[in-house]
Structure formats: C-alpha cells, structure tokens
Amino acid sequence: MRVLVTGGAGFIGAHVVATLAAAGHESVVLDALLPSAHPEGAPSGLPGDRVVVGDVRDREAVADALAGVDAVCHQAAMVGLGKDFADAPLYVGCNDLGTAVLLAEMAAAGVRDLVLAGSMVVYGEGRYDCPRHGTVRPGPRAEADLRAGRFEPRCPDCGAE
Ligand SMILES: NC(=O)c1ccc[n+]([C@@H]2O[C@H](COP(=O)([O-])OP(=O)(O)OC[C@H]3O[C@@H](n4cnc5c(N)ncnc54)[C@H](O)[C@@H]3O)[C@@H](O)[C@H]2O)c1
Ligand SMILES: [Zn+2]
C-alpha cells in the first residue's frame, strides 16, 4: 500500500513513516517544515519514499502528493498552545482549513481511507466507570479489540467494557 503521511517530518509522522516501512508499505511525505516545529532547520534525510515539501492548505501540492496513493495518515498540524492569541488564524488555517483542503483533494482523487490525528486537547482525558470497580483508568486498547471494531476501553481489574 502507498500511504500519504502529511506532517511526516514531525514527531508522530516520522514514527508512522518508519512503521509503514517496517510493514513493507510505501510512504509519501507532505510537510511544510514549519520553523516552529523544526527550530534547528529542516531535518536532513527526511523519511519516506517520496517527499513533497509543501503546505496542506495548497491544493496543488496536496493533489501532487496524492498521486497513486491508497490512504492518508493526516499528521500535519500546528500543535501545542499558542504563545499569542494573534496566532489563532495560523492555527485555524493549518489545522482546520488544511484538513478541509486535504479532504477536498482526497475526494477529487478518489482516495477514501483516512487516519486523522486527534488530541486530548480536543477530546479531553475522559472518565471511565466499571459496573463492578467504579472509576478506573484503562490501559491502551488491545489490538484484537481494535481489529474487531471494539473501541470501548476495558476495566484493568475485570476486563469489562
Ligand atoms: N506528540 C504528541 O504527543 C501528540 C499527542 C496527541 C496528539 N498529537 C497529534 O498528532 C499530530 C502531529 O503532532 P506532532 O507531535 O507530530 O507535531 P510536530 O510539530 O512534531 O509535527 C507536525 C508536522 O506538521 C508539519 N506541518 C504543520 N503545519 C503544516 C502545514 N500547514 N502543511 C504541511 N505541513 C505542516 C510541521 O512542519 C511538522 O513537521 C497533531 O495533530 C497532534 O495534535 C500529538
Ligand atoms: Zn471492573
């Protein structure tokens, strides 16, 4: 499979590219190499079988990166808390508009499979209750559960959903 990893030069994206390669998949990286994410300059030897230095808000760059791609892992984002509220348009541009441009170009290219990064900053840590053990902190979901489409976290004591 050939996978477009947006933000593939970043912390999560670089691990995704390495994991794809280890599993025998090809990757295309689309990354704008934002100075805020790469204060020491562009990393040398970017991962990926093909690298497009470009912005997810740029339709042409996204369309180019999508050529021959089967699925997309969208990790390009401005992350962390802004230092200044004046940065808000930049965050909304990269994160919201960028995702919208990506989705529009995926629709045009007929690419239908997307993994979208989420963050606790958006969805919160949540609270989990077991009918027998009360409030609990579940560990990571088991791969077998994920493969079977079971996303409900399990009680660390009794395994109940
Ligand atoms: N790092 C974590 O622990 C963590 C935890 C939860 C969620 N996430 C989510 O994972 C995603 C990736 O986070 P990360 O930690 O790898 O961040 P990062 O800053 O290390 O990487 C993001 C990459 O995206 C690129 N980028 C930013 N805006 C872009 C644009 N407009 N066009 C093209 N490239 C652009 C940057 O240059 C950078 O290489 C984010 O959505 C983040 O919220 C990360
Ligand atoms: Zn329990």
Question: Ligand 1 pocket: which of 31, 52, 73, 122 to mutate (most atoms <8 Å of CB)?
Answer: 31
Q: What pLDDT digit, counting tens, does each position of 35-88 carry?
A: 989 988 877 777 788 999 999 999 999 999 999 999 999 999 998 766 788 989
Residue whose C-alpha is closest to residue 5's, from 44, 45, 60, 49: 49
Same domain, 106 and 87: yes
> 136 CB contacts (<8 Å, ≥6 apart)?
128, 129, 130, 155, 156, 157
Residue whose C-alpha is closest to residue 4's, from 113, 104, 122, 97: 113
pLDDT at 81: 66
Q: What pLDDT digit, counting tens, does each position of 96-134 carry?
A: 999 999 999 999 999 999 999 888 767 777 889 999 999
Same domain, 11 and 71: yes
**Alpha carbons 85 and 76: distance in angstroms, whole number:** 21
Ligand nearest to the CA of 137: 2
Same domain, 131 and 117: no
Same domain, 117 and 136: no
Same domain, 159 and 94: no
Q: Can you read off the two tokens belonging to residue 5?
A: 């990893």
Same domain, 159 and 81: no
13 close to ligand 1 (CB < 6 Angstrom):
yes
Q: What pLDDT digit, counting tens, does each position of 17-27 carry?
A: 999 999 999 99
Task: Print the domain residue range for 143.
Answer: 126-161
125 exposure class (CB count in 10 Å sphere: 0-12, 13-18, 19+) = exposed
9 close to ligand 1 (CB < 6 Angstrom):
yes
Same domain, 6 and 28: yes
94 close to ligand 1 (CB < 6 Angstrom):
yes
pLDDT at 85: 87
Same domain, 138 and 157: yes
Same domain, 114 and 138: no
Same domain, 108 and 159: no
Q: Which helix (H) or strand (E) holds 114?
A: strand 113-116
Same domain, 6 and 78: yes
